[in-house]
Amino acid sequence: MSTILTLPDQSTARLPKVSYLNKEYGLKSWLLTGDHKRIAMLYLISITFFFFIGGAMAALIRLELLTPVSDLLAADTYNKVFTAHGIIMVFFFLVPSVPATIGNFLIPIMVGAKDLAFPKINLLSWYLYVVAGIMMICVLTFGGVDTGWTFTTPLSTHYLNTHVVTAGLAVFVAGFSSIFTGLNFIVTIHRMRAPGMTWFRLPLFVWSHYAASILMVLGTPVLAITLVLVVLERTIGIGVFDPTKGGDPLLFQHLFWFYSHPAVYIMILPGMGVISEVISTFSRKRVFGYTAVAFSSVAIAVFGFFVWAHHMFVMGISNYSALVFSLLTMLVAVPSAIKIFNWAATLYKGSITFETPMLYAFGFLGLFTIGGLTGVFLGSLGMDIHLTETYFIVAHFHFVMVGGMLMAYLAGIHFWWPKITGRMYPEGVSRLAAVITFVGFVLTFFPQFILGYLGMPRRYAAYPPEFQVLNVFSSAGASVLGIGYLLPLLYLTWSLKYGKIAGPNPWQATGLEWQIQSPPLTENFAETPIVTHEAYDYEWLANKTKNEVQTVG
Amino acid sequence: MDQHQEQHHAHHLHLPHGPSEPTHTEFHVVSPKVYLLVGTALLILTFSTAAISYVDLGVFNAVVALAIACLKMSLVVLFFMHVKYSSRLTKLTVAAGFFTFLVLITMTMTDYISRAWGRW
Amino acid sequence: MDNTLAAQTAETGHLEHDHPPFLRHHFENLTQQREAATFGMWLFLLTEIMFFGGMFCAYLIYRNWYYPAFVAGSHSLHIWAGTLNTTLLIISSFTMAMGVHAAETRQRKPLLRWMVITMILGFGFLCVKAYEWHDEWVEHHVPGLNFSPEQFITGTKAYPDDKLPLDMAEKTQVYFSLYFAMTGMHALHMIIGISLLAFLFVRARAGAYTNGHIAPIENFGLYWHFVDIVWIFLFPLLYLISRHQ
Amino acid sequence: MHFISPVLWQFLVKWLTHFAIFPPEASSIAPYADALYFFLILISVIGLGAVAFLVVYFSIRYRQDMNPVATQIEGSTLLEATWTIIPLILFMICFVWGALLYFRIYSPPPNAMNIYVVGKQWMWKIEHPGGQHEINALHVPINRPIQLTLISQDVFHSFSVPAFRVKREVIPGRYNTVWFEATRPGVYHLFCTQYCGTLHSQMIGWVYAMTPEDYEAWAAGSTSGNSLAQNGERLFASLGCNSCHNDTPNAHGPNLGQVYGSRVQLKDGAFVTVDDAFLRDTILNPTLHEIAGYAPIMPTYQGQISEEGLIDIVEYIRQLDSQYRIHQTIDNSAAQPIQTGSTPAGTSAPALPPGAVKP
């Protein structure tokens, strides 16, 4: 199979003498760094750690659901396990996944800046994440928490005796870590762009991070105050959500979902940015309808704030209000559809190759399309009544979050791995991992759609025996999926030492980040770049390469 | 003010600092007289809102109280926080904050208000 | 940089500015640094709007539901304390604005003076607030800890006609829950503000912010004014509900 | 297979006999829900098919071997408009269809038979008007609309019968309602679908849809003796409700006969329809619903009546206008010495128009 991969001559190639990785040595130079690339690496390590903890929880869930009775785990243990899975995966993996690692690494480079606007706040953001993570680990160590990641009142405030307060505060702190990341991105994108880098020359990766950052900055504080109120209600007993004191528990749902619905866009938008870059690079073609894709990100961010009550259609919100929220939900589906079709159209008359990031991106396209379309099932009022709170919704958001975001995350990690480390990952085994992940994913989560329509409720430790066959399929798929996630961990680690030297631009991509050495210098650019071309301008790249060859010749 | 902006740009013309967009701040030093004036107005408004609350205006008590609070807020935002002299970007940021806050309130209220209308 | 944009890189950029010590390496120039700092602060204030926004939203809903309870709860607060505190905060906002002005005009002594006055006023606010909270504790108005609707059934001292039926009197708990959550969060912001101010004061005494590097003072001013604005809304919403009844 | 591994064979048999991919259609709503479901699947298949076709076709046609040099294309406003408007139209169809179904599921017909459901950790308590009490089981006749009035005693629960395609959150402090009409006799799952604590997965039960004859037989055989309304009547008297709500000329409270379903005017001038939720709330929070023309003297009964007791009283007041109620009360009044001296409201003179001012 043909490839666009162009590596320097391995016999003479060396990693650059000076780069962000080896400018300083020692633990202190990492833990007190202001360099966005080093902070991205700190995030990458901590996020991977939490991903595998959350993954272990998922494995336990799937093992327990292999049989209809609650035999491997007792009901209360099961509840703690799925709560830990939810909280860790949402707040400690998905929300920071692409933005805090790849985004942190690339946003300043892509806009042509030396660093994010506030390096110290960037570092603070990581420390907050670590503090929150340690709190969460403490919660798990000292007995867990069983509220579900949704912290539903009055269950969480009055009816549980687990570590709800600590878990709530952990999420609160993690929320501030996310706010600081988003704030830094917005300021950087507005204020730190290199000369000539106009808004419409920005890569779509930057646009989607901009949109996600808006959601982080405006949505997260509402979650923060909601959790503060839950904690106050639990500790001293104020009565904002407590029905026995006159409060309305539905208000908690409103405030919680005011953040937590936009949060799914926080999770998916950066992934969409990765997909734009990858598809463009591997079809050697500018993204079809750049403006449409850019503005659809912003549209998702704006509309994302208007749809939260679709999580509450059966809860007893007013029927009029349900109508409004359902209508708006249908509208927010449109920008996602626009993106999908634009990515598909980008392939048209391209020159397509199938390296690992592209395979993950194809996986993203398929799975995210299914995830998005099943979202329409759930946004459609009458259908939502039957499907909500069942495995259908579990399958739906896993298709979006795992099939979408995680695929995009892996696509991004592979795509920028040579830039981050200066070395290539092994192509063959990584293609295999991409295929395994896709197959395992479909096998795991597709049966759950059927289970959901059959009516199997979510968060059940035990279930009626007629659901077993599909659950066994799902658990079998999960073990395949597990292999699919372990493989990259192994071969990426291997490649740190044994991978081929990548050179500055192995993919012949157009982004600013590919025009500098891999791994980059601490200050990214030796001289402030002046941007004269649009994003994805392959002709500019071809001319530039030709000129260089001529100069050298 | 335009003139001032031009000067500012002229001054930095030789420095590449991001693409030129009409959002760059000019740093305007507000005279203490303005602060004193605004501060006095705020105090007067404070005492008047406290006093007016003792007058029965029906539903307008709440309206007047909130109107005065909004007026006070505008004074603080425009003068103490320099938004009147700030870039369009700052103004847009402030507006975005209030817009999202209003979205939170109005969209939540669609539920609470229409719940009282009954089933359909 | 073997394969870079060097050919197209501007010759300018590094040449003529005089690198003051407070210009961070990743900014091109001071304007960019100051703009970024101000913009970042505004974005942070945006998050603060939404943080308090959640509570204001709850307030709005429950005030509509339990209006008589909110009236009675509001009547039990000391209007003099509320007005005094509003006055203190507004004056402190003024002094802070003057402090920023002093930093802008590079006058160290006035800057220090205004900062001290601001700190004292903020501290005065907290003292009054503490007095009020103590009062409410004595009156058994703290929901969850020692709440009793008694006073609202029999009528308060200031408003003896405020006699609520038991079910509505119980709902004053919602009012006081919001009251303590909102004033508590506000006071927390005040405490953080005063601590920051103390830190800035120490730095300013060493001349840190009168050398043209005014962003920290300016941004702290924004924060302080924001906290003032929150109180500007809390005052009528909590203290001034239907005082004429 | 069985000669390879008997255990595996055993599992396989067990699985295949317990295997389902589609839930039974057992209510009048189910076909409508399924129709929308299949429509949505159709749209999804078309959408996914379109994307998959484009991606696969382009990947083959324009792979690097076939097309070494890409043609740069800016975009196309026409195409953008196409794939904005077509999905928008499809999604709007989904919205309207879904909204119509929502209307159907959450608007009980007026002649529905009412059954009360109380959720608590971790069981369903079902109260039939005839006085049958069930736990984790619900017996209903087929071909008759059944309305459920749901409330939780503690946390959020959710009442879900997949075979009927209905679900409603059961929340504390407020009645929610849902209705269905079973069409096929059988035994169907009843789930709590909102996570409600440790034994959430044990909060399950069965719905028994029975022919009307079987249902009659079951109802007659399982009654506890007193109907809910009768219990309610006793509670009504023992709490002293009838000292005000007694329809005498000097009564302090509104007459409750025929009040259910009527529109009453509140002090602030608004009109509300008296339904279960309103009745329950006026008993607990009378100050929130002061009726025009009456002094606000009703005390709250918060903390004095259990949810079941409230259901009894609500059901009693609900029955106060029907022939059923009058006959039952007259028949039973002799047999019930607990009956206090004052006249039960239901048996007294016809009610004044609701909300009207007493002379």
ipTM: 0.89
Residue D42, pLDDT > 50, answer: yes
The more confidently predicted of residues A547 and A35 is A35
Contact A318, A259 (CB under 8 A): no
Smallest Cβ distance to B69: which of C60, C101, C236? C236
Question: Does the CB of D218 have a partner CB in chain A at under 8 Å?
Answer: no
In the predicted model, what is the mean pLDDT of residues D285-304?
85
Q: Residue D244: pLDDT above 90?
A: no
CA distances from D252 to A397, D245, D283, D299, D305 (A): 56, 7, 15, 12, 22
CA–CA separation, A259 and C51 (whole Å): 11
Domain check: are B73 and B96 in the same one? no
Instruction: Output D324 or D148, whichever has higher pLDDT.
Output: D148
Across the range A372-381, mean pLDDT stands at 94
Q: What is the dihedral of CA A449, A450, A455, A461, to 10 degrees?
A: -70
In-domain check, residue A512? yes
Q: Are residues B80 and B91 part of one domain?
A: no
pLDDT of residue B27: 64
Give the pLDDT band (50/70/90) at residue C92: very high
Contact in structure between A228 and A315 (CB atoms under 8 Å): no
The rounded radius of gyration (Å) of the Cα atoms in chain C is 24
Is A21 inside a domain boundary? no
- Residue A319, pLDDT > 80, answer yes
What's the CATH number of domain C40-239, 1.25.40.10, 3.40.30.10, 1.20.120.80, 3.40.50.970? Answer: 1.20.120.80
Average pLDDT in chain A: 93
Chains with 3 or more CB pairs closer than 8 angstroms to C? Answer: A, B, D
Same domain as B93, residue B74: no
Give residue-wise pLDDT tens across range D131-190.
899 999 999 999 999 999 999 999 999 999 999 999 999 999 889 999 999 999 999 999
Nearest CA in chain A to D88: A334
Give the lowest-confidence range in A138-142, C83-87, C212-216, D195-199. C212-216
Residue A544 CB neighbours (<10 A)? 18
Which element (helix H / strand E) includes A370? Answer: helix A356-379
For residue D264, which phi and psi values (nearest 5 degrees)?
Answer: -115, 155
- Rg (alpha carbons) of chain A, rounded to whole number: 23
For residue B6, tell me if it sits in a domain.
no
Q: In total, how many domains does chain A have?
A: 1
**In a domain? residue B20:** no
Q: Is residue A300 classed as helix, strand or coil in its secondary structure?
A: helix
Tell me whether residues B119 and D107 touch, CB distance under 8 A.
yes
Interface probe with D: pick from B59, B114, B119, B120, most Cβ of D within 10 Å: B119
Residue C14 confidence class, pLDDT cut points 50, 70, 90:
very low
**Closest listed residue to residue D150, CA positions, set D163, D161, D141:** D161
Segment C113-117 shows an average pLDDT of: 95
Nearest to C101 among B32, B94, B98 (CB): B32
B14 within a domain of the structure (yes/no): no
**pLDDT, tens digit, for every residue of A460-481?**
999 998 898 899 999 999 999 9
DSSP reduced 3-state for A423: strand
Measured CA to CA, the distance from residue A451 to residue D168 in angstroms comes to 19
Whether residues B79 and B37 fall in one domain: yes
| Residue B11 to chain A, least CA–CA distance (Å) | 17
The region of weakest confidence among A239-253, B58-72, D305-319, D333-347 is D333-347
- Average pLDDT of chain D to the nearest whole number: 84
Residues of chain B with pLDDT under 50: 1-23, 25
Within 8 A of A198 by CB-CB distance, chain B residues are: 19
| Subunit contact A308:B107, Cβ cutoff 8 A | yes
Q: Could you tell me how many residues make up chain A?
A: 553
Q: Tell me which residue range forms the domain holding B48.
A: 28-85
Place of tokens 């000539």: A196
pLDDT at A411 over 70: yes
Interval D186-221: pLDDT, tens: 999 999 999 999 999 999 999 999 999 999 999 988
Q: Compare D6 and A93 and report the one with higher pLDDT.
A: A93
* Total domain count, chain B: 2
Amino acid at A465: P
At residue D2 the predicted structure's pLDDT band, cuts being 50, 70 and 90, is low
> B97 — contact with chain A (CB < 8 Å)?
yes
* Alpha-carbon distances of D44 from A341, A370, C40, D39, D302, rounded to whole Å: 14, 7, 43, 9, 50
Q: Is residue A6, in this structure, part of any structural domain at all? A: no
The pLDDT value given to residue C84: 96
Chain position carrying tokens 């009022």:
A381
Q: Tell me, yes or no, if A186 comes closer than 8 A to chain C by beta carbon.
A: yes
Judge whether residue D351 has pLDDT over 70: no
pLDDT category of residue A550 using cuts at 50, 70 and 90? low
What is the count of residue pairs from C and D with beta carbons less than 8 Å apart? 26
SS3 A504: coil
Contact C232, B45 (CB under 8 A): no
Name the CATH superfamily housing domain D24-64+77-223: Cupredoxins -  blue copper proteins (2.60.40.420)
Mutate which of A339, A385, A442, A471 to test chain D, going by most D C-beta atoms within 10 A? A385
Residues of chain D with CATH 2.60.40.420: 24-64+77-223
pLDDT mean over A44-51: 96
The amino acid present at D182, given as its one-letter code, is A
* Residue A262, C-beta contacts closer than 8 angstroms, at least 6 positions apart: A215, A218, A219, A301, A304, A305, A308
Residues of B in contact with A325 (CB under 8 A): 107
What pLDDT is stored for residue C174 in this prediction?
94
Is residue D180 within a helix (H) or strand (E), and if so which, with residue range?
strand D176-180
What is the interface size between A and C, counted as CB pairs within 8 Å?
Answer: 172
| The predicted structure's pLDDT at residue B2 | 41
For the ranges A169-178, C160-169, D54-63, the lowest mean pLDDT is seen at C160-169
Residues from chain D that touch A383, judged by Cβ atoms under 8 A, are: 33, 36-37, 40, 98, 101
Averaged pLDDT, D302-320: 88
Q: Is residue B1 part of a domain?
A: no
Q: Which residues of D touch A354 (CB under 8 A)?
A: 59, 63
- Chain B CB contacts of A258 under 8 Å are 104, 108
B24: its two tokens: 């760059």
- Mean pLDDT within C9-33: 65
Instruction: Looking at the structure, tell me whether residues B91 and B79 fall in a common domain.
Output: no
Q: Domain map of chain C by residue range?
A: 40-239
Chain D closest CA to A76's CA: distance in Å? 5
CATH code of the domain in which A346 resides: 1.20.210.10
Does residue C150 have a pLDDT over 80?
yes
- Give the domain D228-347 fold: Cytochrome Bc1 Complex; Chain D, domain 2 (1.10.760)
How do residues D68-80 score in pLDDT, each as one tens digit? Answer: 998 998 888 999 9
Round to whole Å and give the CA distance between A191 and A116: 10
**Shared-domain flag, residues B32 and B81:** yes
Provide mean pLDDT across the span A433-451. 95
Contact D287 C68 (CB under 8 A): yes
Stretch A103-127: mean pLDDT, rounded? 95
Q: Kindly state whether residues B35 and B73 are assigned to the same domain.
A: yes
Most confident of A287-291, B54-58, C240-244, D285-289: A287-291
**Picking from A263-267, A450-454, C207-211, which range would have the lowest pLDDT averaged per residue?**
C207-211
Confidence of residue D329 (pLDDT cuts 50, 70, 90): very low
pLDDT of residue B4: 44
Using a CB-CB cut-off of 8 Å, the residues of chain B touching D272 are 116, 118
* Nearest-Cα residue of chain B relative to residue D273: B118
More confident residue, C153 or D338: C153
Question: Which is nearest to A433 in space by CA: A492, A389, A372, A377?
Answer: A492
